[in-house]
Structure 1
């Protein structure tokens, strides 16, 4: 069973998210994007982006970056895979980008098994924790879309503990 073990505010600089965008139409048979992650690793797309540089003083990792308008989820949901990079990073052919302003983000560390999927279904619990910790004012863009991300940090997500659990970072941009 997944549980939230840490909640905090992280300051993020202005940066460029570079990756590939998917929609609800790209979901796999299981309703998720796991097969797309497989494509990323098979095709070396993360390695290609890692060659572009890195951000200083920012916890990083592979990202599942989401944005959507909560009042029209079905038509506005986007799921991106990629990396946070410096603002002036040139975007390679075949990739897209989102320029992000300097902001704070609420972060939850979700501990659990990645094999049973429970760590990926904690959105409501994280939102409740942010609100409980005075981080309930979520930023939205000019299309009323919230910016949410899953950060697969190394070593938190890549090294299992004695019980086989990992830690997934769940973040949301704050206003």
Structure 2
């Protein structure tokens, strides 16, 4: 069973999110796990990790995490991006796309449970943030942006119960 074990507001500085965009047509068995596997097999994160300097690492907690960024708007194709937040002026390597994101506040929820049960709980986390008194934010086009944040060792090392923590983050006002 999954549970939210922490929720808080965090400010993220101006960043350049770099990655590769996928859509519903790219899902395998309902998710994007196959694409994540391809990223690790192809060492795609290495080119992005090389762009993270010490100043950026210290600019906010969990700056070095892998990100599963999502964009949702009624009537438009769903977007799922795999990538990382980088310094705002990072030169993006060939083969990656990017989105410049201004300084923003996020509501972060830590979901604890068996890894396979943690995915697709963005709404549960949104509800928790609303209960905490936060208002979720849409972009200027009316789309919702939110992301999975894979933080080591929270996500990579199982606890004594064989469970991990996945961060789900929503942009908030």
* TM score, norm. by length of structure 2: 0.93
**Structure 1, unaligned stretches of length 5 or more?**
none
Aligned equivalents of 1:66 and 1:121: distance in 2? 11
Aligned equivalents of 1:122 and 1:48: distance in 2? 30
Distance apart, 1:141 and its partner CA: 1.7
Counterpart residue number, 2:27: 27
Distance apart, 1:77 and its partner CA: 1.0
Superposition misfits of 4+ residues, deviation over 4 angstroms: none
Counterpart residue number, 1:106: 107
Aligned equivalents of 1:123 and 1:93: distance in 2? 31
Match of 1:67 among 66, 71, 75: 71
Q: Secondary structure at the match of 1:76?
A: coil
Which of 157-166 and 137-146 deviates more?
137-146
Distance apart, 1:128 and its partner CA: 1.1
Aligned equivalents of 1:125 and 1:68: distance in 2? 16
Counterpart residue number, 2:45: 46
Counterpart residue number, 2:59: 57
Say yes or no: does 1:6 pair with 2:3: no
Which whole-Å deviations, capped at 9, do the CAs of 1:51-86 have from their partners, x for residues lacking one?
1124233213111001111x22xx331000000000
Q: Secondary structure at the match of 1:93?
A: coil
Counterpart residue number, 2:94: 93
Q: Secondary structure at the match of 2:133?
A: coil
Aligned equivalents of 1:110 and 1:20: distance in 2? 25
Distance apart, 1:122 and its partner CA: 1.7
Q: Secondary structure at the match of 1:57?
A: coil
Aligned equivalents of 1:57 and 1:112: distance in 2? 29
Say yes or no: does 1:149 pair with 2:147: yes
**Structure 2, unaligned stretches of length 5 or more?**
none
Alignment: residue pair count: 168
Counterpart residue number, 1:167: 165
Distance apart, 1:109 and its partner CA: 0.2
